[in-house]
Structure 1
Amino acid sequence: MELTVLGGCGAWPTRTQGCSGYLLVCEGFRLLIDPGYATLPALLEHADPEQVDAVLVSHGHPDHCADLNPLLRARALGDASPPPLPLYALPGALAPVLALDRHGMLAHAWRLHEFTAGARFEIGPFTVTTLLLPHFVPNAGIRITDPRGAVLAYTGDTGPSPQVPLLAREAGLFLSEATHPEAVPPADAEHLLSARLAGRYAEQAGAARLVLTHLWPGTPHEEALRAARAGFSGPIAVAVPGQILDVGTARH
């Protein structure tokens, strides 16, 4: 199971990278996770629009799903005529982005599968387990297991919760939101995570590796890494476009 980072910027894209977006590949199956603002150009470096096999979205904020619209346009209006793209999301999460074009224009390009947080289901070779995590809107933490037992855990966007280390338990790779390095401002403290707390959760979970994502635009990476290292003894990185990560297995 291999994860390619398409973007990892929180809130809005910068000159150098898009927002949250990840391509997970196993046995030739391409699962696009959270196609946020400005992630489609990065995706096109690795796959054509018609080669995406399914899309999984953690929550409905546009920095996690806005580029679903141009992806569907490319599939619906291009020459390849691929089958409808399976979309997996919480109820109502994709309604705004799916309504951006005139009614029916892209309807043949997608097939929506809505799930409730806490559900477990299959997407291609992957087993997906979800947990409800606190955010400004309903957000599903996502745990993906491949046929060999390797585990990717991804928070989407979340505030502090005892569910986070459960989600990441013995994951080969823990992809965690880390909007602020040390402390989240009080107004957002229930809905977003710090890099310091992400490191602590990764250690509690026994995760093999921690990758920090959704950093506030302009945050120095070293500040986030330093904060996370205070709590986590394993390898840590910040998600940057083009990064290709072998999900691997848990620490022993």
Structure 2
Amino acid sequence: MRQLTVLGGCGAYPEPGRACSGFLLEWDGFRLVLDLGYATLPRLLTHCPDAAVDAVVITHEHPDHCIDLHGLFRIHLYGPARGRRIPLYCTPGVPSRLAALEPDVDLDAVFDIHQLPGSYQVGPFTLTGVLLPHYVPDAGIRLETDGFALAYTGDTGPHQRLAQLGRDVDLFIVEATDRAGETRQSQRNLLTSSEAGRWAARAGARRLMLTHFWPGNDRRTAVESARAGFDAEVLTAEEDLVIPLDAT
């Protein structure tokens, strides 16, 4: 089985019935999680009841991308799967946030921590982390295997490295926050949906998925804005959406 399951696509905080940033990537039995924001863990457990994931990748330390990592930690610390360490690839602020929640427990009891940005072999995937502009260090993620490539921005402002990150990928998951007033900021830390479309086109991506929607935003409007600059398929990160992934 080769597929991507959306665990959540909200930014900042979850709307009713929704969850923040999170994805489950399954490839021939290998399970990799990309971000675990608010309310993503219960959805992950519906797909992996034993929480038996093979690797976790966290783009940055903001809670809407990493807070449910704490729940996963506790499952593996106290549950039936205890003693099995999980590779965790993340920016330096992530372990610090998690350690603040569990000051009396060594994170190494559950996680084998590897710092992003950087390059690693993660199961069947070659993982490349690319530093992107945000309020805190954010690592855009590129995963490649068997003629297939997927990229995920985490949270980012406009930057030339986005084209490098998403170059010719089969699926480019790009944040499209559309936060009011963002484009008037002197230091850009988030994207609009129209910018997401233009960067996906510039990268030559085959498909685009918009994510990290600001609460209250109309996702259909975001898709229309992205399509103005990107003429291939545009998806939105809807909870429990399953996308088959085939090598090309």
TM-score, normalising length: structure 1: 0.92
Contact 1:182 1:227 in 2 (8 A): no
Letter paired with 1:125: P
The CA distance in 2 between the partners of 1:157 and 1:33, in whole Å, is 13
The CA distance in 2 between the partners of 1:102 and 1:134, in whole Å, is 30
Measured against aligned partners, the alpha-carbon deviations of 1:25-74 in whole angstroms (never above 9, x if no partner) come to 11201111101111001101100244111110111111110000011111
Higher deviation after alignment, 6-15 or 82-91? 82-91
Counterpart for residue 17 of structure 2:
16
Contact 2:60 2:93 in 1 (8 A): no
Structure 2, unmatched stretches of 5+, are: none
Counterpart for residue 170 of structure 1:
168
Identity %: 45
Higher deviation after alignment, 104-113 or 9-18? 104-113
Q: Please give the secondary structure, in 2, of the residue aligned with 1:99.
A: helix
Measured against aligned partners, the alpha-carbon deviations of 1:193-226 in whole angstroms (never above 9, x if no partner) come to 0000110111111111000000101111111011
- 1:206-225 mapped onto 2 (5 Å cutoff): 206-225=204-223
- How far residue 166 of structure 1 moved from its aligned partner, in angstroms, is 1.4
The CA distance in 1 between the partners of 2:170 and 2:41, in whole Å, is 26
Counterpart for residue 180 of structure 1:
178
- 1:62-77 mapped onto 2 (5 Å cutoff): 62-77=63-78
Q: Matched residue pairs, number?
A: 247
| Pair 1:81 & 2:79 matched | no
Measured against aligned partners, the alpha-carbon deviations of 1:127-150 in whole angstroms (never above 9, x if no partner) come to 01121111010111111012x120
Letter paired with 1:194: T
The CA distance in 2 between the partners of 1:107 and 1:122, in whole Å, is 20
Letter paired with 1:210: L
Letter paired with 1:137: V
Contact 2:119 2:126 in 1 (8 A): yes
Counterpart for residue 126 of structure 1:
125
Contact 1:7 1:20 in 2 (8 A): yes
- How far residue 173 of structure 1 moved from its aligned partner, in angstroms, is 0.3
- 1:238-249 mapped onto 2 (5 Å cutoff): 238-248=236-246
Counterpart for residue 139 of structure 1:
138
| Pair 1:41 & 2:42 matched | yes
Q: Judging changes above 3 Å, is the alpha-carbon distance between structure 1 residues 220 and 232 closer, same or farther for their aligned structure 2 residues?
A: same
Letter paired with 2:213: L
- How far residue 185 of structure 1 moved from its aligned partner, in angstroms, is 4.5
Q: Judging changes above 3 Å, is the alpha-carbon distance between structure 1 residues 74 and 132 closer, same or farther for their aligned structure 2 residues?
A: same
Structure 1, unmatched stretches of 5+, are: none
TM-score, normalising length: structure 2: 0.93
Q: Please give the secondary structure, in 2, of the residue aligned with 1:98.
A: helix
